[in-house]
Amino acid sequence: MSDIEIRKEGFAGRITLNRPKALNALTWEMCTKIEAALDAWATDDAVRLVLIDGAGERAFCSGGDIAEMYASGRRGDFEYGRRFWRDEYRMNAKLFEFPKPVVSFLQGFTMGGGVGVGCHGSHRIVCDNSQIAMPECGIGLIPDVGGSLLLARAPGRLGEYLGVTCARMGPADAIYCGFADYFVTPDQWDGLKETLCKTGDPAAVDAVATLAPEGQLEAMQGFVDRTFGGETLRDILTLLEQEEDQGAVKAIYRNSPLSTTCAIELIHRVRARDDIRHALMQEFRFTARAAEHGDFLEGIRAAIIDRDRAPKWKHESPRDVSGPEITAMLMPLGADELNFEEG
């Protein structure tokens, strides 16, 4: 059985992530197959829309399959990860820029690499059990796959909050923050997919969408804007430490100090340009260096190899990360800059 099923049904080009036991984690091969399908369907008049879903009920896509990145990085081969990210980010850009409607069904976990596949389309559907997040700072990365642009576009300073705390969004919060568009109850999904294939008309989504159960983030907007408006993570921590609610501080301190400090700078840069390719290029500058110079290998070790959940980061605290260290992780890569070309 293939890890990904790509086919045409009626007027729809269909992509189904098919690794339910692995929560549909995204492999390199899956990325390249998605890109090839998009290239073929962009100019295929028989395809009026693209429909993306995932097998099983637990996850649309829990993220990237990063075990091989750890193994290659431990061997001193940092090019494997860089090649993977180059191909993945190029695919993310094509999804974001796709000239036809893209409808995604985001059940269960949609995190990290799953956001890059499921949250750049035109019609992003969530249900009761949807949990969307950008948890990369917890494994020594930064919000990537174009997620930095979604965070930068979130209301007020919620992007900074979500990026450095790795907080999960339920369906209403995902819609409020711009990671999703529609709430549709799961019992309607099969019929909706059938209609989309038969008609090729995404207006069918509007016909069955309803209001999502109440979320939390809209009510937190004032607190988040007040505390996460600092220019640097040090500024944000100073503001947060003046508040009685220390939950956000604890969440930040669980994650890689280098990643969280760079994530704030990244989101600010991306907000200033509001362009997907600029966002992916900024992200790649960090991820290309993350295994060799950052906390990425240690983050993977603690999360999925040894599973001790006790990473030993390079810095004790975000306050220990210097400005030059942030600059070094996000500076241009010269001839190795992300260029969105194949090969």
Lowest mean pLDDT among 28-37, 244-253, 269-278, 317-326: 244-253
Q: Where are the domains of the chain?
A: 4-336
Average pLDDT value for residue range 56-80: 93
Query: Locate tokens 């280098």: which residue?
Result: 258
**Among the listed residues 183, 141, 155, 147, the one whose alpha carbon sits nearest the alpha carbon of residue 287:** 141
How far is residue 285's CA from residue 297's CA, in Å, rounded to a whole number?
17
**Among the listed residues 338, 330, 327, the one whose alpha carbon sits nearest the alpha carbon of residue 281:** 338
Are 88 and 33 in contact, with CB atoms under 8 Å apart? no
pLDDT per residue as tens digits for the range 204-219: 999 999 999 999 999 9
Strands 123-126 and 131-133: unpaired
Q: At residue 256, does pLDDT exceed 80?
A: yes
Average pLDDT value for residue range 75-82: 94
- Model confidence at 343, pLDDT cuts 50, 70, 90, reads low
Q: For the domain 4-336, what is the CATH code?
A: 3.90.226.10
For residue 20, the model assigns a pLDDT of 97
Average pLDDT value for residue range 16-40: 97
* Total-model pTM: 0.97
- Model confidence at 149, pLDDT cuts 50, 70, 90, reads very high
Q: Where are the beta strands (DSSP E) in 238-279?
A: none
SS3 85: helix
